[in-house]
């Protein structure tokens, strides 16, 4: 499981947007969002850079934790 720091997440819409963005590239991806910690955990066949790009395309600043 990869852990990413994501800035700008604040609500359920953010959770859905990030989850759908990652799952658009890997429908089997498991995405866990922790709004309080500003973290997104992803279990996926995607490379970390692919996950980061998907999150960034939604307008969030993201980096590996």
Mean pLDDT along residues 41-58: 98
Looking at residues 30-55, what average pLDDT do you find? Answer: 97
Q: To which residue do tokens 């922790």 refer?
A: 34
pLDDT of residue 18: 98
CATH code for the domain defined by 2-64: 3.30.70.100
**Domain boundary assignment for the chain:** 2-64
Is 0.85 surpassed by the pTM of this model? yes
Cβ–Cβ under 8 Å, residues 11 and 60: no
* Burial readout 6-35 (b: 16 or more C-beta within 10 A, e: otherwise): beebeeeebbebbbebbbeebeebebebee
Share of the chain above pLDDT 90, in %: 100
């Amino acid at each position: 499981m990869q852990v990413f720091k994501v800035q700008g997440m604040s609500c359920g819409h953010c959770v859905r947007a990030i989850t759908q963005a990652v799952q658009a590239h890997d429908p089997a991806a498991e995405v866990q969002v922790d709004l309080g910690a500003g973290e997104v955990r992803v279990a996926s066949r995607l490379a970390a850079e692919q996950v980061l790009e998907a999150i960034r395309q939604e307008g969030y600043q993201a980096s590996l934790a």
